[in-house]
Amino acid sequence: MSTSSRLSPLTRSRVWRSIFRHGWPDNPLDRSLVTTSNIFLHLHPVKVSRKSIRWSYSFGLGIIAAISFGILLVTGVLLMFYYVPSVELAHLTMKEIQFAVPLGQFTRNMHRWSAHLMVLVVVLHMARVFYTGGYKPPREFNWVIGVTLLLLTLGGSFTGYLLPWDQLSFWAITVGTNIAGYAPLIGPQINQLLLGGVEVGQPTLLRFYTLHIAVLPVITVLVISVHVWRVRKDGGLAVNDAAAAGEVGSSTVSKIDEVNEDG
Ligand code: HEM
């Protein structure tokens, strides 16, 4: 008696049918439906080669970047309950978070270390994609989206740096905005736009805060969604291409079949 017939009372039940829109995945059609009807599995193409899902191929760096971004969102929202973006209160509320708020120090450190981790991991992810030729057609557009994500990640770090409002952040942003001011043609305008005046002050803090907690995270969520969707639409990771184009011998193709057989 096959597994599917043994489980058919379950897979035909009303509860099962209300959750899953497919039978037991022991045939190609139901295996495909498992992927396409599940939002999380749907992130992958229906067929992938074994090599592309090996840990040592991508080191999961894109996923680690996405997870660290998720941690930043959660801890960032928690910090927002206490932090006040005013020059009189910013530093005080940071110290309050550190020393008076339950788990405040932990939340702040999680936010800080996740930010460092995200920058590091995004750079490593970019290097991995370059090394495995993931930027080549048809993925040029996703590479450009990736570069946008790199800039958004660095933008998040830069704007967050001012928020503690201590000497380090004040002078770091003074130097950073001065550097931006030296950009050709539009340098002074960028400098003015970031500072909201002639030097780092209350308008700067408010601008950086708004960029940090609203503008950049919202854009980043949207761009990450497009990025991950594109990975799927481009047929998974670059390693699949040769098999898809039928350019290689049976070994790669049979690996794809193996995955199918394993479900
Ligand atoms: C917030 C930052 C980023 C996130 C969350 C992210 C997420 C991901 C994920 C989940 C994947 C699937 C495979 C994997 O885990 O490696 C992926 C693939 C890819 N990423 Fe990123 N990524 C980011 C930044 C970048 C950057 C900076 C670049 C390049 C400039 C880039 C270019 C690509 C390309 C071209 C692929 C397809 C790779 C292939 O076919 O081998 N991504 N990304």
pLDDT digits 0-9 by tens, 62-108: 999 999 999 999 999 999 999 999 999 999 999 999 999 999 999 99
Looking only at Cα atoms, what is the longest distance across the chain?
80
Give the pLDDT confidence score for residue 242 in this predicted structure.
56
Q: What share of the chain is helix, strand, coil (3-state, %, to 5)?
A: 75, 0, 25
The DSSP symbol for 198 reads S
152-162: burial string, b at 16+ Cβ within 10 Å, e else: bbebbebbbbb
36 and 46 Cβ atoms separated by less than 8 Å? yes
Per the structure block, which two tokens stand in for 251? Answer: 């070994």
Q: Which atom of ligand 1 is nearest to the CA of 150?
A: 27
Ligand 1 pocket check for 68: Cβ under 6 Å: no
Averaged pLDDT in 10-residue chunks for the chain of 263 residues: 81 89 87 88 82 91 98 98 98 97 98 98 98 94 98 98 96 96 95 95 98 98 96 86 48 40 39
Ligand 1 pocket check for 94: Cβ under 6 Å: no
State the distance from the centre of ligand 1 to the C-alpha of 117, rounded, in angstroms. Answer: 15
**97 class by beta-carbon count within 10 Å (0-12 exposed, 13-18 middle, 19+ buried):** buried
Ligand 1 pocket check for 135: Cβ under 6 Å: yes
Give the pLDDT confidence score for residue 240 in this predicted structure.
60
Distance CA 245, CA 225 (A): 27
DSSP-H helix ranges across 37-133: 50-53, 55-58, 61-80, 90-99, 104-131
Rounded to 5°, angle at Cα 106 from 104 and 111: 95
The DSSP symbol for 225 reads H
206 φψ region: left (φ > 0), alpha (ψ -120 to 50), beta (else): alpha
Q: How far is CA 261 from CA 11, 28, 30, 85, 102, in A?
A: 20, 8, 12, 56, 51
Give the pLDDT confidence score for residue 51 in this predicted structure.
86
Q: Best of 116, 123, 125, 229 to mutate for ligand 1, by most ligand atoms within 8 A of CB?
A: 125
Check: pTM over 0.75? Answer yes or no: yes
CATH code for the part of the protein at 57-232? 1.20.810.10
Give the pLDDT confidence score for residue 254 in this predicted structure.
36
Closest CA to ligand 1's atom 43: 62
Ligand 1 pocket check for 153: Cβ under 6 Å: yes
Of 49, 40, 50, 46, residue with least CA distance to 25: 46
